[in-house]
Chain A
């Protein structure tokens, strides 16, 4: 049997809206994944350090503050610097469509906006995780 997928669920930036992060963390767990949740107010540096330390295959960030275009590309850059670029990097939150194209260009594999069923995020990860 394959070992479970390891996911880091992270909250970058200062916003405290963690309902989405916690719901998706539980959904990943119920789908058989191993989930580590960072808690609030994580800098890109902290998130990448946690991802490496926990040896995860997926970094899933939740952001609702509007700071996504600053913080998400930074996380991706740091992952590259740490040679952890093979980690699947996905995001969710209140993110306008116009910004999604930009974020994908910057290496975010998928952006899940409000109303997305958790099952869709689970499927995406199963299909795209590199192992």
Chain B
């Protein structure tokens, strides 16, 4: 601002504030202090004074250029819309395959595979701990055979596939590569993502298997292997989503996720990888909550902070290493079991947040997810929500339209600073794995989660239909159910598989795997060999459990 303009503005602002004092004396505001969803204080008014320290070039810049505050692409959605990617999978590979084909038909352009819990924790469907869980929250995959069925008739050189798999990520990636080979698709044509983010499993999601050190080694093995063999594959999706679902604030979501990201980068550097060889394939995954403006600022802050960390802390040279590309999912924990139609509106607001925040891909939750897995009908409405935002709302027509808003820019700064503060504290503890072992991150999240619940119960936070505007309603009907026969079916198939495959070849492959796990050789090639013999996920994981041991959770409440 020019000096005389600034002076005039400041005096006008003073007058405004005096007037506010008089007005609020007669008509008090709705509350004394206003807070965001994350319990950050929100001021009455943001003005040029709040953003006067911001450098329009250094801090905000232009889309497609460092520090990428305004987005990673120069044209963003004018060039290509975000990838609409619905997370799906349940029951058997056949049933999930049908759902994928349905979604592709509906105009979705990328797949996102949900695995059941036994698969995610490395147990075959006939394991005692799998009892009652087979096919419940995702598809059951026991061997390459199931994976072949899952992608039957889906050309893997044409779709990009995201797989929510962490502890056994190397095994599922190996199966995907093997299926592609059978389809005649070479590794360098494969596009997709494995979540492969073990640290947030220890923090918030719970599907860990191995202790921290071998887990980090598996992750760096994947980085190294893919940088040479599967160059278009996103080797990790560093996830704030589950941290937020566990009850964190927006700032904590950014701070803890980026602290985890730093840990992966450091592990890869320690293993001798060059920063620019793997960093371009790192991707992120965030939550989109209801507090629209706070969320937009969060995405922008995360992007800028990661760019700065990669450049300044790790000395990356390739701009692609500094670009934070991310997937977003709307916030599952914001959905209510009461008056489920209302959830469609929540998801629409969250979709706006993700798109105004510059996401690369998006999953929108379905209205019935506080009750059960979504039905085909409700998934369609959720996908349509994205399509309406894309084609009817107009917000995709100009890049980063909220930039320059006093509130958005001030909030972007604030989230970046507070997230950086968390990162510094975690650095002081020796990095994210140590901070997790000490329970620091879990405790911070739990404090925020409990506070949020108390605020709802006190009525300080209003959730429509839950603690205000409740109605008596009949039980919801028509929910999707996965019946228990899925478990029996998988068990029978496993039995048949074990009878018909070449068990000596399986044994040999598993012994080779054991030797490689004990050495410091890359595990990926032997895992690919093993899955091709139809060694099961459980058998492969058991060998690794044997060599690596198992993680023991520190219980914190």
Contacts and interface: CB of A to CB of B under 8 A. Distances in A.
B132 A71 contact: yes
A128 interface: no
Interface stretch (A8-16, A51-59, A102-110): A8-16
B205 A16 contact: yes
Interface in B445-462: 446, 449-450, 453, 456-457
Given A14-B133, A26-B450, A40-B206, A113 B337 contact: yes
B485 to A, nearest CB: 13
Interface string A31-63: 000010111110100000000000000000000
Contacts of B484: 69-70
A66 B137 contact: yes
A129 interface: no
B479 A96 contact: yes
Contacts of A119: 457
Interface residues of B, number: 47
A77 interface: no
A90 interface: no
A82 B355 CA distance: 55
Given A22-B557, A96-B372, A16 B136 contact: no
B364 interface: no
B338 A115 contact: yes
A97 interface: yes
B15 interface: no
Contacts of A19: 245-247, 333, 449
Contacts of B337: 94, 113-115
Contacts of A96: 371-372, 476, 479, 481
Contact of A14 (B129, B246, B338, B482): B129
Interface secondary structure of B, over-half rule? loop
B504 interface: no
A17 interface: yes
Nearest to A9: B557
B137 A94 contact: no
A70 B117 contact: no
Interface in B461-503: 463, 466-467, 475-476, 479, 481-482, 484
A27 B370 CA distance: 22
Contacts of B450: 22-23, 26-27
A18 B475 CA distance: 26
Contact of B206 (A15, A70, A71, A118): A15
Contacts of A71: 131-132
B449 A23 contact: yes
Nearest to A22: B557
B453 A118 contact: yes
A70 B204 CA distance: 25
Contacts of B131: 67, 70-71
A117 interface: yes
A6 to B, nearest CB: 15
B132 A69 contact: yes
Interface string B364-390: 000000111100000000000000000
Interface string A81-114: 0000000000000101110000000000000011
19 contacts: A13-B117, A15-B117, A16-B206, A18-B246, A22-B446, A22-B557, A23-B453, A26-B446, A27-B450, A40-B553, A43-B129, A66-B372, A71-B132, A94-B337, A94-B371, A97-B475, A114-B337, A115-B338, A118-B453
